[in-house]
């Protein structure tokens, strides 16, 4: 009898915490999202062309799998409350579009909101969570970004738990992205509910600064990095801190794009591109498909980088990797070039949260430059180099 009571209590507790599908994001998800470049001007043709481009450019081979449709795809609900896509923008319907994306060996993502309306004014999922989850499963959706507009004092954890349970009840494994902007500390409860959670407000096409929209702001790359300094312990396989989709290829300089991408890789962030894949430059493609940088992001240890120290406006970041390897990134935040002189032997790197240490006076590590794709010697000698404004030097260290 006691065992039965304990089992009932356990089931009740599990239900209260949600039932996400596990194992869907053991490394940070990689893909593309329509919002940063197309915003509300999204339609079936754009999504199909993007799926084509993801394959033809080599993005798929680099690891990008999700083609995510953001806001403004919604049409109306039918008499039973089921949502349908805008018939003018998506005349073939979502199931046909999903089938097309899947035929390319890719996965389809979709967008909704926990409130009555989405941020773009389309029908939200509040009160229709289970119907929407059933519809997404029927369409063959693989990823759901769930926003937080028009929520009218809803409890965030409760709202996301409801959709989590709805997705699980619908029966199709779907990656659940919590886009709650970090207002309610989702890193403290999101692990049980979803696979990734936004840590801040929206990103802007800006490396350093703020865009004031009147009542809310979007943020530069550096500002987003600075907002959440002490939450890395909450991230790991199947539960990631998400600093937002990338702006690589949308108007920053090549150096800034490279630094932006490098730091998202160091932060073990989801790599969700937000540019026009069909019209991107060779330089943008080379940044987004840098296999060495991606390997740092996708490292199965799943540890997020931390800032070790700052030297004359140059951040020194470190990310422990599998097999006792280490990624080190020098980020020049200044508006002018900087010289870096880094003595490995007098600067041991210790990760007290994940109990990793790299003692360069004890062990010698060989150094590979992940952007120049060449050896940079070893930790036996002091590292000396010059870093352009808003650029990075990204290194991978392995024991000799």
pLDDT tens readout for residues 239-248? 999 999 999 9
Average pLDDT over residues 143-164: 97
Q: Is the per-residue pLDDT at 51 higher than 60? A: yes
pLDDT tens track for 210-255 = 999 998 999 999 999 999 989 999 999 999 999 999 999 999 999 9
Q: Is the per-residue pLDDT at 184 higher than 60? A: yes
From the number of C-beta atoms within 10 Å of its C-beta (0-12, 13-18, 19+), residue 149 rates as middle
Residue 214 DSSP one-character state: S
Structural domain boundaries of the chain?
25-297, 306-399
Q: Is the per-residue pLDDT at 319 higher than 50? A: yes
Helix (H) or strand (E) holding 262: helix 254-266
CATH H superfamily, domain 306-399: Golgi alpha-mannosidase II (2.60.40.1180)
**Average model confidence (pLDDT) across the chain:** 95
Q: List the structure tokens of 238.
A: 């199947």
Q: What's residue 229's pLDDT?
A: 85
Q: What's residue 2's pLDDT?
A: 46
Give catalytic status of residue 202 as yes or no: yes
Helix (H) or strand (E) holding 85: strand 83-85
The CB-side HSE value for 340 (13 A sphere, CA atoms) comes to 28
Model confidence at 18, pLDDT cuts 50, 70, 90, reads: low
Catalytic residue among 132, 147, 276, 297: 147
Q: What's residue 1's pLDDT?
A: 44
Gap between the Cα atoms of 367 and 200, Å rounded: 33
Q: Is the per-residue pLDDT at 17 higher than 80? A: no
% of the chain at pLDDT higher than 90: 94
Q: Is the per-residue pLDDT at 366 higher than 70? A: yes
Q: Is the per-residue pLDDT at 11 higher than 60? A: no
Q: What's residue 12's pLDDT?
A: 40
Q: Edge to edge, what strands does the sheet with 143-147 contain?
A: 240-242, 196-198, 175-178, 143-147, 107-113, 66-68, 30-33, 271-273
pTM above the 0.85 mark? yes
Give catalytic status of residue 292 as yes or no: no
Could you tell me the CA-to-CA distances from 340 to 100, 311, 329, 345 in Å, in that order? 49, 8, 12, 15
Q: What's residue 19's pLDDT?
A: 87
pLDDT tens track for 322-356 = 999 999 999 999 999 999 999 999 999 999 999 99
For residues 203, 205, 206 and 211, what is the CA-based torsion angle, rounded to 10 degrees?
Answer: -70
Q: Is the per-residue pLDDT at 317 higher than 80? A: yes
Model confidence at 199, pLDDT cuts 50, 70, 90, reads: very high
Q: List the structure tokens of 392.
A: 């990075």
Q: Is the per-residue pLDDT at 3 higher than 80? A: no
- Stronger pLDDT, 8 or 151, i.e. the higher one: 151
Q: Is the per-residue pLDDT at 124 higher than 80? A: yes
Q: What's residue 13's pLDDT?
A: 41
- Establish whether domains 25-297 and 306-399 are of one fold: no
Q: What's residue 272's pLDDT?
A: 98
Catalytic residue among 202, 238, 244, 315: 202
Gap between the Cα atoms of 197 and 236, Å rounded: 12
Fold entry, domain 25-297: TIM Barrel (3.20.20)
Q: Is the per-residue pLDDT at 9 higher than 50? A: no
Average pLDDT over residues 175-203: 97
Average pLDDT over residues 369-390: 98
């Amino acid at each position: 009898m006691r065992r039965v009571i304990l089992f009932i209590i356990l089931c009740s507790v599990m239900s209260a915490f949600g039932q996400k599908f596990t194992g869907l994001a053991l490394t940070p998800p990689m893909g593309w999202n329509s919002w940063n470049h197309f915003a509300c001007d999204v339609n079936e043709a754009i999504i199909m062309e993007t799926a084509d481009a993801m394959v033809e450019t080599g993005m798929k081979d680099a690891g990008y799998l999700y083609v995510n449709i953001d806001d403004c795809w919604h049409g109306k609900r039918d008499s039973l409350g089921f949502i349908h896509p805008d018939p003018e923008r998506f005349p073939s319907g979502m199931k046909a579009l999903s089938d097309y994306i899947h035929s390319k060996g890719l996965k389809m993502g979709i967008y909704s909101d926990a409130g009555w309306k989405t941020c773009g004014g389309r029908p939200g999922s509040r009160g229709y969570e289970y119907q929407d989850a059933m519809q997404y499963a029927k369409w063959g959706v693989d990823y759901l970004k769930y926003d937080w507009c028009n929520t009218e004092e809803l409890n965030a954890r409760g709202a996301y738990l409801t959709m989590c349970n709805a997705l699980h009840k619908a029966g199709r494994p779907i990656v659940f992205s919590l886009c709650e902007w970090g207002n309610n500390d989702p890193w403290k409860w999101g692990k049980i509910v979803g696979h990734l959670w936004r840590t801040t407000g929206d990103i802007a096409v800006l490396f350093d600064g703020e865009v004031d929209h009147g009542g809310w702001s979007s943020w530069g790359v550096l500002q987003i990095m600075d907002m959440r300094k002490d939450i890395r312990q909450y991230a790991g396989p199947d539960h990631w801190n998400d600093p937002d989709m990338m702006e690589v290829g949308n108007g920053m300089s090549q150096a800034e794009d490279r630094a932006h991408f490098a730091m998202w890789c160091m932060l073990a962030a989801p790599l969700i591109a937000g540019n026009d894949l069909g019209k991107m430059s060779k330089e943008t493609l080379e940044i987004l498909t840098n296999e060495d940088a991606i390997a740092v992001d996708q490292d199965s240890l799943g540890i997020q980088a931390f800032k070790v120290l700052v030297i004359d406006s140059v951040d020194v970041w470190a990310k422990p990797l599998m097999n006792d390897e280490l990624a080190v990134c020098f980020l020049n935040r200044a508006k002018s070039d900087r010289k870096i002189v880094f003595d490995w032997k007098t600067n041991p790197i210790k990760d007290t949260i994940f109990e990793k240490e790299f003692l360069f006076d004890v062990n010698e590590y060989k150094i590979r430059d992940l952007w120049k794709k060449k050896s940079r010697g070893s930790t036996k000698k002091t590292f000396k180099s010059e870093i352009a404004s808003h650029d990075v030097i990204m290194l991978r260290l392995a024991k000799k």
